[in-house]
């Protein structure tokens, strides 16, 4: 059978996790997922291609390329076939405990200074011999019948970290920075990310605060609880999009973060006193009670 054919009874997606190393391949035309992780990651594309969309620009990672994804980085990944080959790749996750252990082993005296600018975006890495050797050595494990040992995968994870450190000296300062997350403006973060699903713990983490500090700081800037503020902001954004008249109610609901169109319509009518279907191409609306 040709390596790019889909065998009978094979699922469209196959994913295996071996000790924080994920092997994945997809047989359908495209596969999208939202990536949001507290951990740093290294992703290698064997075949096909991967697109990384951060909402402002799209980064393409082609066959044989590797990409570094910072921690606390919200991004949408699209994995799809290219040049007649299905997507096939490996994703390595570097957790905080693993990095602390490696930091101790390397005999480093102090953690690097925080590097907020360096953490802000994903970057395609140069094709180094270390990266190519690492990922070539793991190709046998795309076969689900061939399972590596935990010890072997642990060594590969260490090798992946060393290959990344060899690709750029700035990665050492970044990966071995164990300071608390940088405290950032809450409203600025929410304005950029209101359409995504966050727990209160995640909101606190991404804005560099403990949960208690986040709640205290949020009370200083809003009379609403964070959950209600997010719903209100989504509805306001939806109203503006509907007035543009170039998207359906279902499309707008999804854009602003509502998974259920019926729930969106109910919340919209409660907020503004009219159904969302009546807003497209209509004039200004009453502000409503804005209480959600």
Report yes or no: 29 and 78 within 8 Å, Cβ to Cβ: no
Name, of 63-67, 141-145, 221-225, the range with top average pLDDT: 63-67
- What's the mean per-residue pLDDT of the chain? 81
Where is pLDDT greater, at 166 or 39?
Answer: 166
Classify residue 263 by its DSSP letter. H
Give the per-residue pLDDT at 198.
86
Where is pLDDT greater, at 73 or 70?
Answer: 70
Does 274 score more than 60 pLDDT? yes
Classify residue 169 by its DSSP letter. T
Give the per-residue pLDDT at 157.
95
Give the per-residue pLDDT at 126.
94
Where is pLDDT greater, at 8 or 123?
Answer: 123
Query: pTM of the prediction?
Result: 0.60
How many C-beta atoms lie closer than 10 Å to residue 241's C-beta?
A: 20
Per cent of the chain over pLDDT 70 is 80
Give the per-residue pLDDT at 209.
84
Poorest-pLDDT segment among 27-31, 86-90, 93-97, 169-173: 27-31
Q: What is the pLDDT of residues 222-241, one digit of tens each?
A: 889 999 999 999 999 999 99
How many C-beta atoms lie closer than 10 Å to residue 277's C-beta?
A: 12
For residues 170-190, average pLDDT: 78
Give the per-residue pLDDT at 10.
40
Does 275 score more than 70 pLDDT? yes
How many C-beta atoms lie closer than 10 Å to residue 147's C-beta?
A: 11
For residues 66-81, average pLDDT: 85
Does 251 score more than 60 pLDDT? yes
Where is pLDDT greater, at 100 or 74?
Answer: 100
Using a CB cutoff of 8 Å and minimum separation of 24, what contacts does 156-159 make?
A: 156/21, 156/92, 157/19, 157/20, 157/21, 157/92, 157/94, 157/98, 158/102, 159/130, 159/134
pLDDT class for 182, splitting at 50, 70, 90?
A: low
Where is pLDDT greater, at 115 or 155?
Answer: 155
Alpha carbon separation from 188 to 142, 184, 185 (Å, rounded): 42, 8, 5
Q: How far from each other are the two terminal CA atoms of the chain, in whole angstroms? A: 57
Does 283 score more than 60 pLDDT? no
pLDDT class for 120, splitting at 50, 70, 90?
A: low
> Which conformational region is residue 281 in: left (phi greater than 0), alpha (psi within -120 to 50 degrees), or beta?
left
Phi, psi for residue 89 in degrees, rounded to 5: -155, 170
Give the per-residue pLDDT at 264.
93
């Amino acid at each position: 059978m040709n390596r790019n054919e889909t065998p009978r009874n094979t699922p469209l997606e196959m994913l295996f996790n071996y000790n924080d190393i994920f092997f994945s391949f997809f047989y359908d035309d495209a596969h999208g997922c939202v990536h949001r992780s507290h951990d740093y990651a290294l992703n290698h594309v064997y075949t096909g291609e991967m697109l990384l969309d951060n909402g402002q620009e799209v980064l393409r990672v082609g066959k044989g390329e590797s990409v570094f994804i910072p921690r606390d980085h919200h991004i949408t990944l699209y994995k799809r076939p290219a040049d007649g080959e299905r997507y096939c790749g490996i994703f390595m996750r570097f957790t905080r405990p693993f990095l602390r252990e490696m930091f101790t082993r390397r005999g480093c005296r102090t953690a690097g200074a925080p590097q907020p600018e360096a953490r802000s975006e994903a970057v395609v890495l140069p094709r180094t011999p270390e990266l190519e050797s690492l990922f070539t050595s793991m190709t046998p494990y795309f076969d689900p019948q061939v399972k590596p040992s935990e010890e072997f995968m642990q060594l590969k994870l260490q090798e992946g970290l060393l290959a990344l450190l060899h690709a750029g000296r700035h990665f050492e300062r970044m990966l071995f920075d164990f300071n608390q997350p940088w405290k950032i403006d809450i409203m600025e973060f929410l304005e950029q990310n209101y359409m995504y699903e966050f727990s209160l713990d995640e909101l606190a983490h991404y804005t560099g605060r403990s949960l208690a500090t986040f709640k205290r700081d949020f009370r200083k800037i809003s009379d609403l609880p964070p959950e209600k503020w997010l719903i209100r902001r989504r509805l306001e954004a939806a109203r503006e999009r509907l007035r543009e008249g170039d998207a359906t109610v279902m499309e707008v609901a999804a854009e602003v973060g509502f998974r259920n169109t019926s729930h969106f319509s109910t919340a919209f009518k409660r907020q503004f006193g009219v159904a969302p279907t009546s807003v497209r191409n209509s004039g200004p609306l009453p502000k409503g009670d804005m209480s959600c």
